Amino acid sequence: MCTTCGCSNAQGAAVTDLDAKEAVHAQVEAQLQATPDGTAVGAREPSYRRVSEHEQGHAHLHPPSHSHDHTHAHDHSHNHASEHATSITLEQDILAKNQLLAERNRGWLAGRSILALNLMSSPGAGKTTLLERTIHDLGETLPLTVIEGDQATLNDAERIRATGARVVQINTGTGCHLDAEMASRALTQLDPPMHSVVMIENVGNLVCPALFDLGEGAKVLILSVTEGEDKPIKYPHMFRACSLLLLNKIDLLPYLRFDVEKCIGYARRVNPWIEILQVSAQSGEGMEAWYAWVHAMRAEG
Ligand SMILES: Nc1nc2c(ncn2[C@@H]2O[C@H](COP(=O)(O)OP(=O)(O)O)[C@@H](O)[C@H]2O)c(=O)[nH]1
Ligand SMILES: [Mg+2]
């Protein structure tokens, strides 16, 4: 996970309130402006390093914690078992600390009778489009606010703001997921009203976001039909973590080779309890079922 991929650094995250136009972490925001592509924000050396010929006998990308299954002989002597143990301990510490903060967020939300949903997907699956349409269709009847998560730019927050909904943007810099600490800061800034719904759009990624509880009421996964039907078995942790799968972009099915039943079968194989709805955030097809799910979740809470 993140100690391996090198992204678990919340320090560089910036929270921006689009109404106040005020960066909580002004220093990071200044860096963002200095480097519009975000590459220098919260920059740190990636954990992957190229192992020298001397160390490895051959060069390849080598994460510090990976387990070796090479069949060829090694002539280097670093202790893989202790590296692995250190890495696992660090991972457990990070996740345990995150869990404590997530529970604090959960209590904070429950105290205000707020339903928070953590929306996750790979980049481009349609999270922001889904939110835009949801706000358009439900905004009058359901008090909805949004936390946007991306490595860089305020683009998605600007899109949400154009709908009229209140929104706060988190820029994670090098980070590939939101964590409970970032969510806590964003919730404080957002200050959502009692009995409302907070939609949290996570950073586009089917791996790390699954591991980090934000204190949400439920995790929702958006998979678009352009991604291939085998994603549930390739990224089982994400599919296991989620209560609802929204299979998006079904308007494109006539133009693609995508077997819906096969995809649903794979999803149920890794998570027999997952609910699955087929939608098109663009055309609006199937969206009523999603709205009914949100209302039911809210009624449960
Ligand atoms: N055809 C089609 N395109 C969609 C749909 N939902 C989103 N898109 C497009 O997919 C692209 C990525 O959408 P976006 O909402 O930015 O994805 P995000 O990265 O998950 O937030 C955009 O070009 C959207 O217009 C859909 O239901 N059907
Ligand atoms: Mg988006």
pLDDT in single tens digits along all 301 residues of the chain:
565 455 655 567 899 998 876 555 555 455 545 444 433 333 333 333 333 333 333 333 333 333 444 444 444 445 656 666 666 677 788 999 999 999 999 999 999 999 999 999 999 999 999 999 999 999 889 999 999 999 999 999 999 999 999 999 999 999 999 999 999 999 999 999 999 999 999 999 999 999 999 999 999 999 999 999 999 999 999 999 999 999 999 999 999 999 999 999 999 999 999 999 999 999 999 999 999 999 999 998 7
Rounded Cα distance between 168 and 14, Å, is 10
Residue 12 in contact with residue 42, Cβ under 8 Å? yes
Is there a domain that residue 128 lies in?
Answer: yes
Is there a domain that residue 33 lies in?
Answer: no
Question: What pTM did the predictor assign?
Answer: 0.80
Alpha helices in the chain (DSSP H): 2-5, 26-34, 53-56, 80-111, 127-138, 155-162, 180-190, 231-234, 236-241, 260-270, 287-300
Domain that holds residue 165: 104-300
Task: Specify the 3-state DSSP secondary structure of 206.
Answer: coil
Distance 239 CA to ligand 1 centre (A): 20
Is there a domain that residue 174 lies in?
Answer: yes
- The residues facing 220 across adjacent strands are 119, 244
Distance 156 CA to ligand 2 centre (A): 5
Question: Maximum distance among all alpha carbons in the chain?
Answer: 67
Is there a domain that residue 27 lies in?
Answer: no
Write the pLDDT tens digit of every residue in 142-169.
999 999 999 999 999 999 999 999 999 9
**Ligand 1 neighbour 278 (Cβ under 6 A):** no
| CATH number of the domain encompassing residue 126 | 3.40.50.300
- Kindly report the protein residue whose alpha carbon is nearest to atom 14 of ligand 1: 126
State the Cα angle at 187 between 163 and 29, rounded to 5°: 80
Is there a domain that residue 55 lies in?
Answer: no
Is there a domain that residue 117 lies in?
Answer: yes
Total structural domains within the chain: 1
Rounded Cα distance between 178 and 170, Å, is 8
Is there a domain that residue 147 lies in?
Answer: yes
Is there a domain that residue 247 lies in?
Answer: yes
